[in-house]
Every structure is written in C-alpha cells, then in structure tokens.
Structure 1
Amino acid sequence: MGNTHYSVATVLTMFMTGLALGSYLGGRWIDKKSNPLALYAVLEGAIGIYCLLIPSMIEWASPLFLWVYQTQTESYTLVSLYRFLICGVILLVPTSFMGATLPVLSKYVSRDSAFIGRDVGTLYSLNTFGAVFGALSSAFLFMRLWGILSTIWFAAALNIGIAIVIFLLFRPRMNRDEHEEPTTEDKEIEKDPSISNAVPILLAFGFSGLCALAYQVAWNRIFSLLLGSSVYAFSLIL
C-alpha cells in the first residue's frame, strides 16, 4: 500500500467487512444445516489453506500494482483506491470464513436457549483472548524470530491442524448431528417477532462498531509516534 496508515485502514476495513459478511452468511447457512461442527472444521481448514496462498497471491498481483503506478500517475486518490481494491479482494475471502466460524460454533455450543447468553459469551471471550495472544505474539515474538512468511505458515498450520483434530476426534458426533432435526426451541426463535423489532438497537450497535474502529485507526497513528513502529502500535491496540 506504500503507506503504513493506509495499510492499517485497508486491513481493518476488509477484516471487519469479512467478519460481518461471514457472520451474516454463516448464521443463515447454519440455521439450515444440522451439523455445525463439520462446517466449522471445513471453515478452519479453508482459512489455513487460503492463508498459505496469500503471499503467492500478493506476488501474482504485482503486475496489477505496477499497472496502477504506471497509468494513474496524476491521481493519488485513484492509486490508493485501486490498491485498496486489489488488497481487499485478496483479504475478503479468508476474513469471511473467519467471520462465519463464530455463529457456526455458537450453534454447536449453545443447544439450550436458556443458557445461550452464557455459552456464546464464553465462546466469544475465548476467541477474543486467543486473538489478543495472536496479535501480541505475532508482532513481538514470532515475526522477530521467524519472519513474516514463517509466521503466516505457522498460523495457517494451526488452522489446518484444528480442522484435522476436529474431524478425527469428533467424527462420531458429526454423524449423529447429521440426523438431528431442528428443535422446537430453534423453531420458536426463528419465528420470534421481537427479533424484527430490534432494528434501532442493531443500528446503534453498528454505529458503536464504527466508533470503535475509528478510535483504533487514530490510536494506531498516535502510538506509532511513540513506539517508532506502527507494527508494534497496531499489535498493542488490537
């Protein structure tokens, strides 16, 4: 991207776009399926395989970047827009898979509507703590020891490993889930009219996310002045 702050904004924009799109599609898809654990394993494996290919995709996109620099010399805005779109297309697929994992795994973990808040809250908390460790360790440990490519390969191997472990350890459970019908509670939740009346709350929640990401980009710019490297600032803020 040529400018670290634009890189941060691009990654955040496409990451959150993918999470939102994946969460929406994953939630709709899993409501029609009875085997969330198998789908979760497929998503984890797909994330790992795709992320292994990202360095090659960036290299394959080099002619596009070169074309942008050669043909759009008069407009820095257009150059930035083209670079954003190229990088965004590369990042959208894996981030969408990542976004789909939470609703899919929530479907498996929370089988009792009486405890859905506790179950989903615990699941989201564990996922967030894992993300905290990943953000810190990748910038301050793994990339310093192994470099960028090896860190990507390590993370991708973990994703693929998760998929393999789930398939091997939980295969009997997956087979049972394939024959389960939606429960009465699931059908009642689908028909609950109160869900459609929550539009103002959902909009407010969306604007809350807007503010949070605006803070994140601004804080990254401030902390990069103090830390000397926006990579470390970005990691700390994440």
Structure 2
Amino acid sequence: MNPHSRFWIFIFFFISGFTGLIYEVVWTRLLTRVMGNTHYSVATVLTIFMAGLALGSYLGGRWIDRKSNPLVLYAALEAIIGIYCLLIPSMIEWASPLFQWVFLTQQESYTQASMYRFLICGLILLFPTSCMGATLPVLSKHISRESIFVSRDVGTLYSFNTFGAVFGALSSAFLFMRLFGVLNTIWISAALNIGIALVIFILFYPRIVKGGEESGAKKEEFKLNNHAIPVLLAFGFSGLCA
C-alpha cells in the first residue's frame, strides 16, 4: 500500500471513531427519557456499546480471514452503520408500546422494569455497535499486508480511532447538539459514515479489486497458542477494571 492510500485509511478510521462517540453521546440523550434517569441511560448505552465492540471485534476477526478484499467489507460496514443509525430514533419510537407495557406491568419493581428496558434498548443498539467493533480487525487486515509491520500499523489505527472518539465525545455535547439538535447531529454522523463508504467505492475500488486478486493466494492459518490464553484473560480483566 502506498503512503497516500495509507494516510487516507487512517483519516477514515479517525472519522469512524469520531462518529462512534457522537452516536454514544446522542443515544444517551435519547434513552434518558426511556430509562427514566441519566445514570441508567449512561450505564445502558455504555454496556451495550462495549458489548457490541467486543462481539463485533471477535466475529469480524474470524470472518475477515476468509475474505480477500477487507477494504470492501470495511466500506460496507461504514454504510450499514450510517444507514442503521439514521433509523434508531424511529426504532425507539416504534418500541414505545413495549416501553409502555413495561411501565404498566412492572410498577412493583423498578429494578425489574429497568432490566426490561435495558433488554429492549440492547436489541436496538447491539447491531450497529457490533458493526463498529468489526471495523478494527477488518481494517487491520487490509493495512497490515506485511506481518513485520502489524504492531505498528494496528497501533496507529487504534490511536487514530481513539483520537477521533475523543473529538467526537467533546464536539457532540458541546457543539453539535447545541447548534443542530439531536436528530441533525445523527444525520451529520451518518453522512460521514456513508461518505467514507462512497469515497472508498468510488476512488479505491479499482485498486481494491486488483489487490484482492494479487493477495488471494497468500493465506496463512493462525492458531491461538495455549500460552496466550492466560494473557488474554488478564487483558480482559484489565478491561473490566478500567
């Protein structure tokens, strides 16, 4: 991959992290009236968001090893995220009868009612967050064609995505929602996701196809070492503490 293409991949992933945290802040706002208070809304969105990232990263990592054009899949994921997130406010409205049923039937136990609301919200939000989680292994597969540079490339990708998330969280609360409102902020974020997909398909598609044909024969099977399992468990516990 030439330096120019690599630069744009990093920019795309910065924007991806930017939009991801905008969605997280906006969803917290949308779910506050559903969950009944802010701290339940924050806990719900954060739990589902992290669960989706974990699930998507796991499934995306297993799936992408069988694909020859990971950048095509990344573009598709960005388009799916953008389109689906446009529908989330409507989905929450469509789920109003379910929330009303919870309110009418679970008045004796606020905790149980909150768990029902959590499950309903989880059904709505788990899919797009899983798509977000899948973007890292998918894009890592594309950008790390040479194994000697895997650590550098994945680390750079993750840092760009995280910096984008920082700016997304900051700008969503202090800028976008104040200037444009919640729904328009969602539209802006979705336009960025869909824009990434369009740019990749329009500008990068010929090179994507050529690269896929050239690399189709070079596939190596990776098996997890038993010694790595304790390290992964420790890493998971570190995430739990964080």
Q: TM-score category by the smaller chain?
A: 0.7 to 0.9
- CA distance, structure 2, for counterparts of residue 117 and residue 13 of structure 1: 28
Aligned residue among 121, 132, 139 for 2:173: 139
Q: Which residue of 2 aligns with 1:89?
A: 123
Deviation at 1:182, TM superposition (A): 4.7
- 1:33 maps to 67
Q: Is 1:21–1:99's contact at 8 Å kept on the other side of the alignment? A: yes
- Alignment-derived partner of residue 199 in structure 1: 229
Residue 78 (structure 1) aligns with? 112
Task: Determine helix, strand or coil for the equivalent of 2:126.
Answer: helix
Q: 1:51 aligns with which of 76, 82, 85?
A: 85
Give the percent of matched residue pairs that are identical in Structure 1 and Structure 2. 75
Q: Which residue of 1 aligns with 2:220?
A: 187
Give the match for residue 210 of structure 1.
240
Structure 1 partner of 2:39: 5
TM-score (norm 2): 0.83
Rounded to whole Å, the distance in 2 between the matches of 1:79 and 1:24 is 31
How many pairs does the alignment contain? 207
1:119-198 equivalences under 5 Å are 119-179=153-213, 180-183=215-218, 186-187=219-220, 190-191=222-223, 195-198=225-228
Are 1:65 and 2:65 matched, yes or no?
Answer: no
Provide the rounded CA distance (Å) in 2 between the counterparts of 1:148 and 1:121.
32
Structure 1: gaps of 5 or more residues: 213-238
**Structure 1 segments of 4+ aligned residues over 6 angstroms from their partners:** none
TM-score by length of 1: 0.85
Q: Which structure has the higher relative contact order (CA within 8 Å, separation 6+)?
A: 2
What residue is the counterpart of 1:116 in the other structure?
150
In structure 2, the CA distance between the partners of 1:182 and 1:123, relative to structure 1 (3 Å rule), is farther
Structure 2 gap segments, 5+ residues each: 1-34
- Provide the rounded CA distance (Å) in 2 between the counterparts of 1:124 and 1:83: 32
Q: Are the equivalent residues in 2 in contact too, given 1:34–1:182 (CA < 8 A)?
A: no
Instruction: Tell me how far apart the structure 2 counterparts of residues 178 and 200 of structure 1 sit (CA, whole Å).
Output: 35
Distance in 2 (alpha carbons) for counterparts of 1:196 and 1:137? 43
RMSD: 1.1
